[in-house]
Every structure is written in C-alpha cells, then in structure tokens.
Structure 1
Amino acid sequence: MSYFFAATLGYLLGSPPFGFLAARYCGLDIRKLGSGNIGATNVFRNLGWKWGVGVLLLDAFKGWLACFLCERFFLTGEAAASTMILLAGFAAVMGHNYTPWLGFKGGKGIATSAGVLLFWTPMGFGAALLTFALSLSLFRMVSLGALLAASVLPFVVAMRHGAEALFWVCLMMCLVAWWKHVPNIKRILSGTEPRLGQGGKDLNSKEKKE
C-alpha cells in the first residue's frame, strides 16, 4: 500500500502545470505559442527569461519535493523505503508529463527529473548539468543539451551506484525524455530546431503544414 501512496503523492505533486499557469497569468496560452510545450524552455522563449527561470525552478522543485516528502512521511525503516522514494520521484516526472489538469498532456520532464536528481545524487545532477552546459555552448539547442544530459546520466549513476534502483529510475527518466523529445529530434535532423536566442517560433503551425 505504501507504494501506491508514494506514487500517488509524487504524481499529484508533479502535476501542477506551472508553465501553463504563468502564461495564463500573462493572458496567454503557452500551448498555442512556439513549440506548444508547457515547459520552461518554451516559456523562456515566449514570456522572457524571468518567467522561464521561475517555471524552471518550480518544475524542478516538484521532483525534489516529491522525494523529500516521501522520505519524511513514508520512511518507516523498511528496506524498500528508498525504492518508494524513487517511485515518488519518477511519478512526479510522469505527473508533469501527463498532467490531469491539461487532459493528460504536459511537458517533457527535464526540469522535474533534475529535481529528483538533485535530491538523490548531486554528483549525477552535476554531471548532467555540465553535459547540458557544454552542449548548449557548442550547439545552442536546449533540446539537444537536454537529451545528451539525460543520456549521460545513467552511465554516471551506474559507475557511482551500480545497478541499483536509482540506476533503473535514471534509465527510465532518460527513455521518457527521448520519447517526449521525438518532435525535437525530427527538427534537429531536418535542421529546423530553434537555437538559443531565436525567440518563440510557431512550430505547431509549421508542423501542421508539413
């Protein structure tokens, strides 16, 4: 039963669509702007860096808070406690990606995954952040940086922690990130993915025409 509560707690904590709410506050629908994604990158491009940073921090906080509260409320000394905390973190990512408040459509889970990492493995978080920063400086594509960071993470965690539950959760978060970035991958391959500083292009209408 504890697993159910941990997953439910994580999912509900991950579900608030802060990017959507920020845009609504500004009188806009972020789903109709730029890439149509509710995440921090699209908010940054269309609402400005202050809103983007705010959404980024809030989305990351969801993942961290899910793990933190699960540790406080469900940690009863049993051997499976750490697995329950990881389950809560992964559920928070899924709550962000498939939020019930927007018809089970949401973001891509990168920031929320970062919050989970920051709670569990600061070293893994640092490695992913460094990979992202290097990729962004070289290619100036946020999506590519996020994908490379997500791909590096399971290997870093495996070297540090072995094939423990944390590794498998990181691997699942990596696979989810790739799945959610399929439209970005197509644009990267076709050379149409926006680069940093290009602003909010209406990619939704362009993809519909194609």
Structure 2
Amino acid sequence: MSVALFIFTIVAAYLLGSIPSSVWYGIGYFGIDVRKYGSGNAGATNTFRVLGKRAGTVVMLIDVLKGWTATCLASLLFYMGTIGQTELLMYKILFGIIAIIGHIFPVFVGFKGGKGIATLLGMVLAIHPELALVCITIFLLTLIASQYVSLSSILATLAFPVLSWAGLFGHPEPLLIVFGFVMFLLVVLTHQKNIIRLVNGNENRVNLFSKSKSGRTHS
C-alpha cells in the first residue's frame, strides 16, 4: 500500500470517529448541548440521561456505525487488492482504534468527546460479530441487574479478550486477545471517575424501563 493511501485511510478513520453525534444531534434537534448537562460527557450515555431514550438510541447507533465503518475500511482495501488476507485483521484493528481515538478526541468539538464504548462496539462487530453479540448480551444483563452503564461497559469489554483467550469461537487469535486487553485498559482509564463513584456508591444509574425523557436534566 502506498504511503498516500495509508495516510488517507488513517485520516478517514479518525474523521469518522470524530463525528460528534451527541453534540450535533442534541443542538440540531433539541437546541441542547449535552456537554452542559448531566455528566457533561459527549457520548450516548449522557444523551440518554439528558435527552431521553429516543435521542440516546439514535446517537448510540450512529456511534456504533462510526466504528463499524472505519473498521471496514480495511475490508475495502482487501477487496481492492491493496492488502492481503494475513494483514486484514491488523488493519481492521488499526482503523478501529483510530476511530475510537477520534471519538474520544474529536477534532470537530475541541477534542473533548465521549468514552468510545459504542464506537468500540461497532469496531468489534466488524471484526468478530459473534463474539460482539455475546459481549452485548453481557452488557445488557449487567445493565438490567445493576443499572450501571459504566460497570456494564467495563465487564462487557473485559469479556471480549477473556472469551477470545478461552477459544469460545475457534482457535484463539493472539492479536485479537492483545487488542482486547488493550481496549479493556483504555476503557478502565476513560472510566476512572465512574469507577470511583461505583466504589463510593454514588454512580449514576440508568433504568431501561423508565419512561423516556423529553427534556434536559441537571442531574
């Protein structure tokens, strides 16, 4: 692959990840900047908290799509004959990570974005959809039981490398396992404040079955 094409795809993956869906959607449809309410985070979870389930779902799906699309740039290069089969996974992981970095540090809104969980999910769906579905199940079951999005995200992220290592879906792939544990560490780092609140017992809860909100909240 040429240096120019490599740089172009890296930039494209970053810009895809940088799309500030929560900020643009909140301001465009509600006239509300979600960064000024709730946790102040520009992510899907705070959008759920501030603008309600419908808005949160839209933002989450866009963020998932960002990660999936950026990761699939590697598949596009493969079908173009630019990279080989042995390089495909490496490039998927690379482009996916770049998209997550874009989500966390988006160029469009002053490099202050979300925590990258939905974008990570989109990346994992593009790399290993079966394992991703298992992790989604773990996330939902934990969320229903605890009502903590942060705890659910951390456990679901940890499940990916652990289940990969256990060979749940065939022979363990070392690169995938290493990637999974690196992503787990990244999630822990971006959730440090949440972990402290979990330990102190004052972390924000999200009830999936409560009535949807239609306005802002200062909680």
Q: Normalising by structure 1, report the TM-score.
A: 0.88
* TM-aligned CA distance change 1:10 to 1:123, over 3 Å: same
**1:1-210 correspondence to structure 2 within 5 Å:** 1=3, 3-25=6-28, 26-73=30-77, 76-78=82-84, 79-160=86-167, 161-197=171-207, 202=218
TM superposition shift of 1:201: 6.1
Q: Report which stretch shifted further, 76-85 or 86-95.
A: 76-85
CA distance 1:157–1:3, shift in 2 (3 Å): farther
- 1:208 aligns with none
Report the aligned-residue RMSD.
Answer: 2.0
| Counterpart AA for 1:76 | T
Task: Give distance in 1, aligned partners of 2:110 and 2:19.
Answer: 12
Q: Report the identity percentage.
A: 35
Task: For 2:36 and 2:189, locate their aligned partners in 1 and report how far apart those are by CA, in whole Å.
Answer: 21
Quote how far apart the aligned CAs of 1:181 are: 0.7
Shift in CA distance, 112/39, structure 1 to aligned 2, threshold 3 Å? same
- Judge which range, 3-12 or 114-123, deviates more: 3-12
1:109-164 CA distances to partner (integer Å, 9 max, x unpaired)?
Answer: 11001001111111221221111112112111111111111111111122335243
Question: What are the ranges of 5 or more consecutive residues in structure 2 without an aligned counterpart?
Answer: none
The aligned amino acid for 1:15 is S
* AA aligned opposite 1:57: L
How many residues align? The count is: 203
